[in-house]
Every structure is written in structure tokens, then in C-alpha cells.
Amino acid sequence: MDAETFKYIGAGLTTLGMLGAGIGVGIVFAAMLNGIARNPSAESKMKGYAFIGAAFAEFMGLLAFVVTALILFA
């Protein structure tokens, strides 16, 4: 196995970063649904915060994508 092979194995391994992002986004929206079920009148306010939280959680997964791009193309 040469260095090129390990490069592609590493690029594939970076997809594991999606694991954490998936769990994080799931927790954010689960908490939002919990909150809405308890207090439906606060839905519009919670939605905005939930999307901000999901955006931050998602960004962590996207950093894994950036690492993939760096490994493959840089």
C-alpha cells in the first residue's frame, strides 16, 4: 500500500465526522419539539433559535468535509 492509498482511506474516514453532526442536529430538533409540545405558543421563537443551533452543530460536520477536500485536492 502506497501513500496514495492511505490518502483515500483517510478521506473516507473523515466521513465519520458526520456522526457527531448528526447526533448534534438531532438533539437540537428533539429539544425544539419537546419545547413546542410543552408550550405551543412559543413555537415561532423556538424555531429561530433551533435553526441557529442546528447551523452551529451542522458546521462541525462541514469541517469534516473541508478536511476531506484538503486531503483529496490539496
Partner 1 sequence: MSEIKPLEQFELKRLVEYEAFGGVDISFTNSSLFMVISVLAAAVFLLGGMRKNALVPGRWQSMAELSYEFIASMLKDTVGSGGRQYFPFIFTTFMYILMCNMTGMLPYSFTVTSHIMVTFGIAIFIFVAITIIGFAKHGLGYFGMFLPSGTPWFMIPLLIPIEVVSYLSRPISLSIRLAANMMAGHAILKVLGGFVVMMGAATGWLPIPFIVLLTGFEFLVAFLQAYIFTILVCVYLNDAIHMH
By the criterion CB under 8 A, which residues form the site for partner 1?
Answer: 44-45, 48, 51-52, 54-56, 58-59, 62-63, 65-66
Nearer to partner 1, 33 or 52 (CB): 52
How many CB atoms are closer than 10 A to CB 7?
12
Q: Minimum Å distance from CB 65 to partner 1?
A: 5
Nearer to partner 1, 1 or 46 (CB): 46
Three-state DSSP at 71 gives helix
Q: Minimum Å distance from CB 2 to partner 1?
A: 22
Output the CA angle 16-20-25, nearest 5 degrees.
130
Nearer to partner 1, 19 or 63 (CB): 63
Amino acid at 27: I
Compute the distance between CA of residue 66 and CA of residue 18 in angstroms, rounded to an integer: 12
